[in-house]
Amino acid sequence: PLSNPDPLAGHPHYSKVKDLGIGSFGSVALYQRKEGRGEPSLCAVKFMPRSGPGVDVNLIQREIQSHRVLRHPHVIRFKQLGLTNTHIFMCMEYADQGDLLGFLRRKGPLPEADARWLFQQFIFGLDYCHLKGVVNRDLKPENLLLKLTPEASKRHSNTFNLHIKIADFGLSKRAAHSLPKTRVGTINYMAPEVLLAGPSQRYDGHKADIWSAGVVLYAMLFSRVPFEVMHEPAAAQQQQGQQKQQQQAGAARDRAATIQRILEGDWAVPPGMTVTPQCLHLLTQMLVPDPAHRIPMAAIMEHPWFRSGLPPAALTMN
């Protein structure tokens, strides 16, 4: 359904297909885009209001600066920037298989080989971003999009037909600007040093991204996050107002307990589930609370679990 008003209505090169979702500051819709004389192609267009309450021009500029420098098979491709009377819009590559969060909800825990295939691509994309001076700071399954490989047939969709693409640079920071000192992102995927960040306490965004990538790997293997604390819901016979108050208090307690577990690096393999010792070793190296002792990107790419099944050429792709 064409529910949101279409900022590109009447545009000679764009025709709207459907809404795709709402991002951290802006909406995304699917469009057909005419390019030259060829067939129109599908693209995702992200709209950000040019003015109004809560519009942060610095954040918009940062997203655009971050994204324009990135060209890699495992990063969503930036195609065009434009202006309407009301919006800034960014035209980007469309990933036709949704996001990793939806994929994990449908599939449950992935077999180790499937998780590794997606993780390898994710790490190559992330390493490339870091080499280009872009730290993402908001890595989580909903910002990792999936696209069928060109040779895949739509009938036989298995994990090995999927390419993962890093998207949503709304919170990224070009390393050239400064060390991040603000708290951004989603608590379950946030590194301890990000939770502790403030004006006087800076952190290295590259290392924070590696922690988040470790949480993403855990989520792929076990279909849950490692640090989340969930409380028991309030009993149904209580008054509604009382129940709501208890729920709010419970949520605040859970959040505090989750933060505590993140700061302590307190996680375990879920009961009844197993992974190979090599896989567990890599997770243990990534989810180290002290960033100074966390595994660096180069060592992830040298790790035997990561290298298993990789074509030799892949290691030099960046």
302 annotated ligand binder: no
142 annotated ligand binder: yes
266 annotated ligand binder: no
Catalytic residues: 138
Match 């375990």 to its residue by tokens.
268
For residue 100, which of 45, 42, 147, 161 has the smallest C-alpha distance?
Answer: 147
93 annotated ligand binder: yes
128 annotated ligand binder: no
Give the angle 158-164-167 at the CA atoms, nearest 5°. Answer: 145
Q: Enumerate the β-bridge partners of residue 163.
A: 147
46 annotated ligand binder: yes
Amino acid at site 191: A
168 annotated ligand binder: yes
Q: Do the beta carbons of residue 1 and residue 148 sit within 8 Å?
A: no
Residue numbers belonging to the annotated binding site: 46, 93-95, 142-143, 168
Residue numbers belonging to the annotated binding site for ATP: 46, 93-95, 142-143, 168
